[in-house]
Structure 1
Amino acid sequence: MDKNILSKVLQTKILVFDGAMGTMLQSMAPSTNCCAELHNIENVELVYTIHKKYVDAGCDVIETNTLGANRIKLEQFSLSQLVKEINSRAVEVARRAASNETLIAGDMGPTGKFLEPMGRLSFDEVYRAYFEQAKILIESGVDLINIETMTDLHEAKIAVIAVKDAGDIPIICSMTYDQNYRTLTGANPETVATVLESLNVDIIGVNCGFGPEMTVEIVKRIHKVTDRYISAQPNAGMPKIVESKAKYSLGPFDMQSYAEKLVSAGANIIGGCCGTTEKHMKLIVQEARKFAPKKRKKVIFSKLASGSKTIFIGDKLVSKAVGERINPSGNQRIYSAVINGEFNTIANEAKMQESLGASIIDVNMSVRIGGKTKESDFMCSAVCEIQKIVTAPLSIDTISPKVMEDALKIYRGKALLNSTSGKDQSLEDVLSIAKKYGTAFVGLTLDDNGIPETAKERLKIAEKIIDRAYDKGIRKDNIFIDALVLTAASKQDRVLETIKTVKLIKQEFGVRTLLGISNISFGLPNRSMLNATFLAICLEAGLDLPIINPLEESIRNVIRASDVLTNRDVNAREFIALSHTKKRVTSKYIYRHKNTVHENIIQGDIKNIVPSIKKEEKKGLSAKEIIDAFLIPALEEVGEKFEKQEFFLPQLMMSAETAEIAFEYINAKLDENTKNSKEKKRKILLATVEGDVHDIGKNIVAIMLKNYGFNVVDLGTNVKAEIIVERALEEKPNIIGVSALMTTTMQEIETVANKLRESKIEIPLIIGGAVVTKEFATSLGAFYAKDAVESVKVAKSILTSTVKHKTHTNLSTNREV
């Protein structure tokens, strides 16, 4: 389908997608295999019947039964050899069920695995899997691609890039959020919108989750920051198990009542996810036909994002600045850290700049060793470490296209590429990368003839860069032009030309402007005063984004004072806050770098954790003392940060894995009596229930529990209830933990609980998973844990109660902890 045709339709009509596929399959064929996509081959008429129900209900779009039909996901069922057949047959059956007016969306979902460094998958592996699936779907005749139920923004980025490379077709990309309005890996709706918009996704969506009420709020937040069309496909509330079957809380009339709210919030597409049926969708179709789409607002600000945070840059917004200090040129400490592979030092430098007000962190890794460069390796290592502890977006500072591309493959957000010049080859290379990976970019006003002397000549180069960017389809708000600052010590007559260039660029083109402020004072005394004065002049001329040294207090003061006087800082809120929290930054603070066991755990520093432990051992500390003094307190702090949303899943996982390495090293030194005592007191049996191959959550829980001294017996995924009972009798654990991600497998938790009860196994049961609720746990007489951090707390509480009461049967029946 032509993108322009779809756009015209969405301007005048609310499109209605179909409802659930997985829960419909489960209700109509509850005893069949756990790979829903295999029905496309083995039970074609069942899939056809579901599609036909939605077509008859009046849905404009039906989605192929291919959510988990990428090669990586199918490998978990030993079905990867059927990738082509499963996907092509899915399109065939959908097309057969469709009317002449019905559109077919090729459905694509998560791989079910994490990317590096949290998991083992590389960018290229994930890209190949999505490219393969998209190519099959497109060649089989789908009208658009619907990437949905994504929980990791990094994985979603790769899926979008792969689909764009596979064919010119409209793309929807939808994420699912938790009750804190964050994706599994920590992205909020604004960040999702920023990243997907920059990748030129046609429609940004939200699906699955906790029901339509949350979906309305997410749609509102997306609508405020992007002019892209929006899709909303919520669940029918939350599931409850009634007579061993999942029943969702919202019926057809309940869901119908949310159609108007979703349209008012900004949705152009409404559909249904888990728990919705043709009855739900028929009423939603009737309701949606009453409303016209909400008009899109033109975006007048620029956006950059990390994996969890978005910053906004605009003429009426509080000023932002780029921190310049991560550059080995002229900075011996950074240079030494790079060549010695101490990228935790680089990350700490970035964190320090962020804490002092830098909104964006510039990362330059142009180091040569023995005449050779390892810039790409250095850049990737730096980006990887910085992402662990810094929420500010990054500026990838290099002139090498290869370095840019390698860094962008591992970056989870929307970066600023710094930079291209006006040279033809540089423009072609950098703009192509910016377009493909969805970034903003910096254009330098220089070309083959160097830096022009006059503002007029620099403006011509700027115009060339801007025109080329437009030709590539890069939006105006993603263009940053650097008018170039030459030192006043040698080019004093050029200073005013730079300022004139900034003014002209803003007047003529209205794009963003950027300058490296510190260059002005190079070679002169009292640099801080010169920098601050020059910055003040440039801000008045229209400078959008200064590159600064955040350690210069005078620079920070100029920015905040300027915002007050230009009405950017409404009611002087930022200025007053800065005045109340102002601290003197000493050289001791600037160059302090903690490389301790505690800090290594907090930062997820796998490389340095064992050397740090060895340092403590040399001081005479025993293994137990190191655990009690460093490891457990650090893990407690990580848990607190996770609960406060200062840390998200990537940070939690890296910290947990670092702690795991620490415990493996230390446990080898514990005496046998200590180890045996711990194992007897702290054994937990973990499993994902039958029919469910998702193990991400369970694996995180296992790592966290191990770090707290539990002897974890992990049975893996797709485990029958009988096996769980059998192993419980063998292992005699203190606790059993089971999880289910999908509604279709949630009832298996009840089966496990019943089998344990029938076998008279009175061992405390902890349950969790995306669809599991505290109410469901209570109904089973089980404990509930919403995430890995809470799992540890619940398990520790159970042990405390067990020790206190000497018996599991004395535990509270409502399982509140």
Structure 2
Amino acid sequence: MSRPSSRTFLERLADGVVVGAEGYVFELERRGYIKAGPYVPEVILDDPDALRQLHREFLRAGADVMVALTYYAHREKLKDVGREGQLEELNRAAVRIANEIAAEGGALVAGNICNTWSFDPADPITSGEVVRAQYREQLGWAVEEGIDFVIAETNDFVGEALIGLEVCTELDLPAMVTFASVQPEKTYDGYDYVDAVKRLADAGAAVVGLNCSRGPETMLPVLEKIRAAVDVPIAAQPVPYRTSAAVPAFESLESPAGRAFPIALEPFAHTRFEMADFARRAADLGVSYVGICCGGAPHYVRAMAEALGRETPASKYSPALDLHPVLGDAGTEAQAGAHEVMGTWSAGA
């Protein structure tokens, strides 16, 4: 299949920061197309136009990559919702839709694999073969439909991440491998996060880094250590929520009403200004792939892309509060003030 972009993933990375956009399952759940809990992307088959629209909004907002929505589209998760018989149909359709929309703006297309919940570090050989078979299925179909590279993400185990990378290598695909960082210091199989990504870089990953779990303030310090430890490009796709040193991962956030994750996170949401500030800080740190994960939405992506100096198709409709009938010039001052406040907050004041 012909590719929508004539420039490869590695060539784009060499040219400058690549803007990513994820959070598909969270955003489509908010829109009423995915069930919270299993988070299986049934929308691909049930309402494909809803997925097309979200891809298109991310593209207009400045995303350089359309990620095929095959997160949690593996055999074990589809069993949970009784649709394992549609495994191939769902995976192929996801890549076709990503290709369709990517072609509208010359974007790259990423195949996607993720944590399977099948890997057992106590029995890495047997469980690893189960994982390997699932990845081979998904990526085999993705290659036939046409992808530029693979995002292997939300890894909790180094062992599982290495299997994903091995399958990508078998298929001669560049891989961006990122870890979730739910625990304060280490992966679930006991590797410091810096050591974890270094192992993947040494094993041949094209890009390594972090995604999900942590918001900007708890991800950036780890990214700084990663940048100093590896020679390959690094990636950062945080969640747009206020995590802290006390609560580094959004899965543990609690409000007065109780547990916030996954569907009561609104009180902790960042503004677009804060995510724009993250994009600038990450780029200054030397992050080559700057994106967003669960909770991501087009307005965040546009703000982040603009913070990196991009003018996007959606920039035509970026805020102009000076034209507001009530706020007028005060709106412009308020917006400038918001930028200043967010910059102060991000500096740790």
Deviation at 1:189, TM superposition (A): 2.4
- 1:263 is paired with a residue whose SS is helix
Which residue does the alignment assign to 2:302? 282
Equivalent residue in structure 2 for 1:215, among 214, 219, 233:
219
- 1:258 is paired with a residue whose SS is helix
Letter in 2 for 1:144: F
Which residue does the alignment assign to 1:21? 24
Deviation at 1:183, TM superposition (A): 2.0
Letter in 2 for 1:55: L
Deviation at 1:120, TM superposition (A): 9.1
Letter in 1 for 2:29: Q
Answering whether residue 213 of structure 2 is matched by residue 192 of structure 1, we say no
Supply the distance in 2 between the matched residues of 1:57 and 1:100 (Cα, whole angstroms).
11
Equivalent residue in structure 1 for 2:50, among 25, 46, 50:
46
Deviation at 1:235, TM superposition (A): 0.2
Deviation at 1:3, TM superposition (A): 12
Deviation at 1:251, TM superposition (A): 1.7
Answering whether residue 72 of structure 2 is matched by residue 68 of structure 1, we say yes
Aligned pairs for 1:221-232 (under 5 A) are 221-232=225-236
Aligned pairs for 1:590-609 (under 5 A) are none
- 1:134 is paired with a residue whose SS is helix
Answering whether residue 280 of structure 2 is matched by residue 260 of structure 1, we say yes
Deviation at 1:179, TM superposition (A): 5.0
Letter in 1 for 2:144: E
- 1:172 is paired with a residue whose SS is strand
> Unaligned stretches of 5+ in structure 1?
291-817
Compared CA separation, residues 117 and 32, structure 1 to 2 (3 A): closer
Supply the distance in 2 between the matched residues of 1:72 and 1:163 (Cα, whole angstroms).
20
Q: Does structure 2 retain, via aligned residues, the 8 Å contact 1:179–1:210?
A: no
Equivalent residue in structure 2 for 1:112, among 110, 117, 122:
117
Which residue does the alignment assign to 1:130? 135
Compared CA separation, residues 249 and 202, structure 1 to 2 (3 A): same
Compared CA separation, residues 80 and 258, structure 1 to 2 (3 A): same
Q: CA RMSD, aligned part only?
A: 2.5
Q: Does structure 2 retain, via aligned residues, the 8 Å contact 1:3–1:170?
A: no
Compared CA separation, residues 50 and 139, structure 1 to 2 (3 A): same
Supply the distance in 1 between the matched residues of 2:225 and 2:116 (Cα, whole angstroms).
27
Which residue does the alignment assign to 2:245? none
Deviation at 1:187, TM superposition (A): 1.8
Q: Does structure 1 retain, via aligned residues, the 8 Å contact 2:119–2:128?
A: no
How many corresponding residue pairs? 288
Deviation at 1:64, TM superposition (A): 1.2
Compared CA separation, residues 283 and 31, structure 1 to 2 (3 A): closer
Q: Does structure 2 retain, via aligned residues, the 8 Å contact 1:190–1:221?
A: yes
Supply the distance in 2 between the matched residues of 1:32 and 1:122 (Cα, whole angstroms).
27
Which residue does the alignment assign to 1:149? 154
Supply the distance in 2 between the matched residues of 1:271 and 1:216 (Cα, whole angstroms).
13
Compared CA separation, residues 177 and 32, structure 1 to 2 (3 A): closer
Q: Does structure 2 retain, via aligned residues, the 8 Å contact 1:57–1:282?
A: yes
Deviation at 1:93, TM superposition (A): 1.5
1:69-111: per-residue Cα shift (whole Å, max 9, x none)? 1223323333322221111100112222222411111111111
Aligned pairs for 1:518-557 (under 5 A) are none
Q: Does structure 2 retain, via aligned residues, the 8 Å contact 1:128–1:162?
A: no
Compared CA separation, residues 119 and 153, structure 1 to 2 (3 A): closer
Answering whether residue 89 of structure 2 is matched by residue 82 of structure 1, we say no
Which residue does the alignment assign to 2:178? 174
Aligned pairs for 1:706-725 (under 5 A) are none
Q: Does structure 1 retain, via aligned residues, the 8 Å contact 2:155–2:180?
A: yes
Supply the distance in 1 between the matched residues of 2:6 and 2:134 (Cα, whole angstroms).
24
Letter in 2 for 1:11: A
TM-score by length of 1: 0.34
- 2:204 is paired with a residue whose SS is coil
Compared CA separation, residues 76 and 32, structure 1 to 2 (3 A): closer
Compared CA separation, residues 155 and 149, structure 1 to 2 (3 A): same
Deviation at 1:185, TM superposition (A): 2.5
1:381-410: per-residue Cα shift (whole Å, max 9, x none)? xxxxxxxxxxxxxxxxxxxxxxxxxxxxxx
Compared CA separation, residues 149 and 251, structure 1 to 2 (3 A): same
1:239-297: per-residue Cα shift (whole Å, max 9, x none)? 6659x74314212111111112111222101111111210000010111237xxxxxxx
Deviation at 1:122, TM superposition (A): 2.6
Supply the distance in 2 between the matched residues of 1:32 and 1:229 (Cα, whole angstroms).
35
- 2:119 is paired with a residue whose SS is coil
Letter in 1 for 2:119: F
Greater alpha carbon shift after TM alignment, 129-138 vs 246-255: 246-255
Q: Does structure 2 retain, via aligned residues, the 8 Å contact 1:19–1:278?
A: no
- 1:62 is paired with a residue whose SS is strand
Compared CA separation, residues 265 and 186, structure 1 to 2 (3 A): farther
Equivalent residue in structure 2 for 1:7, among 10, 16, 40:
10
- 1:146 is paired with a residue whose SS is strand
Q: Does structure 2 retain, via aligned residues, the 8 Å contact 1:181–1:218?
A: no
Supply the distance in 1 between the matched residues of 2:200 and 2:141 (Cα, whole angstroms).
23
Supply the distance in 2 between the matched residues of 1:134 and 1:120 (Cα, whole angstroms).
21
Deviation at 1:67, TM superposition (A): 0.8
Letter in 1 for 2:17: I
- 1:195 is paired with a residue whose SS is helix
Which residue does the alignment assign to 2:321? none
Supply the distance in 2 between the matched residues of 1:58 and 1:181 (Cα, whole angstroms).
33
Q: Does structure 1 retain, via aligned residues, the 8 Å contact 2:118–2:131?
A: no
Which residue does the alignment assign to 2:168? 163
Compared CA separation, residues 175 and 266, structure 1 to 2 (3 A): same
Q: Which structure has the higher relative contact order (CA within 8 Å, separation 6+)? A: 2
- 1:112 is paired with a residue whose SS is coil
Q: Does structure 1 retain, via aligned residues, the 8 Å contact 2:197–2:208?
A: yes
1:185-233: per-residue Cα shift (whole Å, max 9, x none)? 3222221122101221101020001201122112111111111111100
- 1:86 is paired with a residue whose SS is helix
Percent of aligned pairs with the same amino acid: 22
Supply the distance in 2 between the matched residues of 1:186 and 1:79 (Cα, whole angstroms).
34
Q: Does structure 1 retain, via aligned residues, the 8 Å contact 2:152–2:177?
A: yes
Q: Does structure 2 retain, via aligned residues, the 8 Å contact 1:149–1:207?
A: yes
Which residue does the alignment assign to 2:319? none
Which residue does the alignment assign to 1:251? 271
Which residue does the alignment assign to 2:335? none
- 1:36 is paired with a residue whose SS is coil
Aligned pairs for 1:309-708 (under 5 A) are none
TM-score by length of 2: 0.76
> Unaligned stretches of 5+ in structure 2?
242-249, 311-349
Supply the distance in 2 between the matched residues of 1:257 and 1:22 (Cα, whole angstroms).
24
Q: Does structure 2 retain, via aligned residues, the 8 Å contact 1:62–1:94?
A: yes
Supply the distance in 1 between the matched residues of 2:151 and 2:101 (Cα, whole angstroms).
18
1:682-718: per-residue Cα shift (whole Å, max 9, x none)? xxxxxxxxxxxxxxxxxxxxxxxxxxxxxxxxxxxxx
Q: Does structure 2 retain, via aligned residues, the 8 Å contact 1:149–1:208?
A: yes
1:448-502: per-residue Cα shift (whole Å, max 9, x none)? xxxxxxxxxxxxxxxxxxxxxxxxxxxxxxxxxxxxxxxxxxxxxxxxxxxxxxx
Larger Cα Rg: Structure 1 or Structure 2? Answer: 1
Q: Does structure 2 retain, via aligned residues, the 8 Å contact 1:108–1:148?
A: yes
Which residue does the alignment assign to 1:717? none
